[in-house]
């Protein structure tokens, strides 16, 4: 099995045009070393960065309907910072497949965080060109599924479950309960619906890409409803 075939298994995506994947793995240092206009991955990195931002922005927008622009921006930045992207590149073992100059090789370029982060975005850009937006989105959701389960705890987003509990327990010693109502979709792209109840009465429901996200959405909806009732 070729190394590119092994990599594609880890990516969960089979390229129709493997030349795109090769280009995504070609570091700019190769062109600098050869002093020739050798194609490298910087343009794919630019494209992958844009696709990644769009997909994650949409997920945040849909899962946190009560979060304002500032909170959404901070949370997206947390997901796509260089350290986070380097972790993804390292987990996929992209460094072992990079085409780099001798200088980069001798200075540990294959394990450099910035290089791995750039390679991850380049590979994403290549997937987008090869398979379209849906293929790129599927790859991103698979890669970030664990992080989506933690979105309700990211800096910049309020703790809706904690706020709801505090509000309700100021009037009653009973804590709110969360009930999973429905779950659907493929394993890598699940949709959950949860209801939040208080003393047996359903307050609201919410949807999300994880049970935790759905519970947070339900708590946000309940907070909004209770505050409207108070002010109304």
- Is 121 considered catalytic here? yes
Per-residue pLDDT for 105 more than 80? yes
CATH number of 160-231: 3.30.160.20, 3.10.20.30, 3.40.980.10, 3.40.50.300?
A: 3.30.160.20
Q: Please give the average per-residue pLDDT across 79-108, as a whole number.
A: 91
pLDDT (tens digit per residue) in 172-216: 889 999 999 999 988 777 889 999 999 999 999 999 888 888 998
Per-residue pLDDT for 87 more than 60? yes
- Tell me which of 121, 138, 143, 215 is the catalytic residue: 121
Q: Please give the average per-residue pLDDT across 160-171, as a whole number.
A: 86
Per-residue pLDDT for 30 more than 70? yes
- Is 49 considered catalytic here? yes
Residue 81 CA, chain-centre distance (Å), reads 11
Q: Kindly report, as residue ranges, where domains of CATH 3.30.160.20 are found in the chain.
A: 160-231
Per-residue pLDDT for 35 more than 60? yes
Residue whose C-alpha is closest to residue 57's, from 194, 151, 190: 151
- Tell me which of 49, 104, 130, 143 is the catalytic residue: 49
State the pLDDT confidence band at 104, using cuts at 50, 70 and 90.
confident
Residue whose C-alpha is closest to residue 85's, from 47, 46, 113: 113
User: What local confidence, expressed as pLDDT, does residue 63 receive?
Assistant: 77
Please answer whether residues 219 and 227 qualify as being in contact, where contact means their C-beta atoms are separated by less than 8 angstroms: no
- The percent of residues above 70 in pLDDT, for the chain, comes to 91
Per-residue pLDDT for 156 more than 60? no
State the pLDDT confidence band at 231, using cuts at 50, 70 and 90.
low
Question: 3-153: which CATH topology?
Answer: Ribonuclease iii, N-terminal Endonuclease Domain; Chain A (1.10.1520)
Please answer whether residues 18 and 4 qualify as being in contact, where contact means their C-beta atoms are separated by less than 8 angstroms: yes
User: What local confidence, expressed as pLDDT, does residue 230 receive?
Assistant: 67
Please answer whether residues 127 and 140 qualify as being in contact, where contact means their C-beta atoms are separated by less than 8 angstroms: no
CB neighbours (10 Å) of residue 184?
9
User: What local confidence, expressed as pLDDT, does residue 1 receive?
Assistant: 39
Q: CA dist 95 to 32, 66, 132, 135, 174, Å?
A: 19, 39, 25, 23, 53
Q: CA dist 218 to 45, 72, 92, 210, Å?
A: 37, 18, 35, 12
User: What local confidence, expressed as pLDDT, does residue 46 receive?
Assistant: 97
CB neighbours (10 Å) of residue 170?
7
Per-residue pLDDT for 127 more than 50? yes
Residue whose C-alpha is closest to residue 83's, from 58, 118, 54, 53: 118
Q: Kindly report, as residue ranges, where domains of CATH 1.10.1520.10 are found in the chain.
A: 3-153
Cβ neighbours of residue 63 closer than 8 Å, sequence gap 6 or more: 148, 151, 207, 208, 209, 213, 217
C-alpha torsion sign, points 165, 166, 172, 174? positive
């Amino acid at each position: 099995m070729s190394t590119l075939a092994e990599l594609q298994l880890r990516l969960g995506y089979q390229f129709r045009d493997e030349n795109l994947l090769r280009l995504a793995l070609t570091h700019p240092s190769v062109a600098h070393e050869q002093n020739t206009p050798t194609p490298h991955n910087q343009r794919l990195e630019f494209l992958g960065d844009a696709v990644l931002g769009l997909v994650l922005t949409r997920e945040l927008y849909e899962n946190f309907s009560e979060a304002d622009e500032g909170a959404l921006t901070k949370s997206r930045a947390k997901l796509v910072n260089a350290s986070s992207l380097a972790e993804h590149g390292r987990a996929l073992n992209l460094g072992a497949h990079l085409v780099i100059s001798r200088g980069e090789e001798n200075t540990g370029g294959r394990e450099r965080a910035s290089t791995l982060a750039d390679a991850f975005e380049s590979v994403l850009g290549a997937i987008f060109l090869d398979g379209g937006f849906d293929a790129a989105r599927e790859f991103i959701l698979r890669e970030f599924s664990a992080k989506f389960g933690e979105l309700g705890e990211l800096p910049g987003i309020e703790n809706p479950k904690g706020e709801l509990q505090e509000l309700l327990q100021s009037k009653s010693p009973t804590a709110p309960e969360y009930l999973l109502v429905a779950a659907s979709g493929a394993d890598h792209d699940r949709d959950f619906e949860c209801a939040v109840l208080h003393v047996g009465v359903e307050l609201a429901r919410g949807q999300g890409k994880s049970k935790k996200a759905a519970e947070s959405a339900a708590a946000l909806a309940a907070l909004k409803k209770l505050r409207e009732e108070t002010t109304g």
